[in-house]
Homo-oligomer: A and B are copies of this chain.
Amino acid sequence: MSDVLGPGPKTRVRRLAAKANYERDVIFAVIDEAPLCHVAAIVQGNAMVIPTLHAREGDTIYLHGSPSNAVMKSIVERGEACVSMTLFEGLRLARSGFESSITYRSVVVFGTATLVSDDVEKARVLDLFVDAVLPGRASEVRAMNDAERRLTMVVAVAIDEASAKLSSGPTDDPDEDLDLPVWSGMVPARIHYGTPIPDTNGAMAAGTIPVPASVRRLLDGQ
């Protein structure tokens, strides 16, 4: 495998090309850290975008949804998908509005979309989604049953091309702005997980089921 996923005809970054990156490792890190993605499709002749969960395995991004989901149906019918993941990482406050922005890492992926119809493969991929939301969780929950699997459409998007755009500090103020009496700098942002809120139904109501290892690792790791 090559170490880069672009640039190709669809993914060459023109604006702020200095922020562009096509390295597989950089792109995969953004995909894997993002808790969700946005998927575009052509629906009734118009472009449409929806948020959804994703899981990555190798050069494939998996998406899932209801079999009636118009975006999922469209990407399977056309055999193509465009997916974007964006990590908001803080504020990048320059001395001018023009140079001010956020810090972020984002990717845009173009891929070949195919329906995952094999039951065994589908069951395997559905576990990937559970672990993508919270690593290790799939082994803690009740296994999926046939009815649940039938209610879910799974789509594999084989990455054809991808680009990342990375914006971090410091600010890019032009020289003539540097001595302005305006505060300039970064305010870092990250996702913070708070105290788990246990369900109060069924066996959980007794308070005897401990917080699982998956959640403890998430909280200990932050």
Query: What does the 1/0 interface line of A119-154 toward B look like (CB < 8 Å)?
Result: 000000011011001100110111111001001100
Chain B residues with Cβ below 8 Å from A138 are 97
- Min CB gap A164→B, angstroms: 11
Q: How far is the CA of A108 from the CA of B43 in the complex (A)?
A: 14
Chain B residues with Cβ below 8 Å from A144 are 96-98
Chain B residues with Cβ below 8 Å from A29 are none
Interface centre among A138, A193, A211 (most CB of B within 10 A): A193
Chain B residues with Cβ below 8 Å from A80 are 46-47
Q: Judge if A203 is at the interface, Cβ distance under 8 Å.
A: yes
Q: How far is the CA of A201 from the CA of B182 in the complex (A)?
A: 12
Known: A48-B108, A49-B83, A173-B202. A142 touches B190 (CB 8 A): no
Chain B residues with Cβ below 8 Å from A15 are 65-66, 68-69
Question: Chain A interface residue count: which class?
Answer: 35 or more
Question: Are A177 and B97 in contact (CB-based, < 8 A)?
Answer: no
Question: Are B102 and A35 in contact (CB-based, < 8 A)?
Answer: yes
Identical subunits present: 2
- Min CB gap A178→B, angstroms: 3
Q: Judge if A180 is at the interface, Cβ distance under 8 Å.
A: yes
Question: Are B194 and A84 in contact (CB-based, < 8 A)?
Answer: no
- Min CB gap A16→B, angstroms: 8
Q: Judge if A114 is at the interface, Cβ distance under 8 Å.
A: no
Closest to A199 in B: B184
Besides A95-B141, A177-B202, A189-B194, 13 more A-B contacts (Cβ < 8 Å) are A10-B43, A10-B48, A14-B68, A15-B69, A53-B102, A97-B127, A98-B148, A100-B130, A140-B182, A169-B197, A173-B202, A185-B198, A186-B196
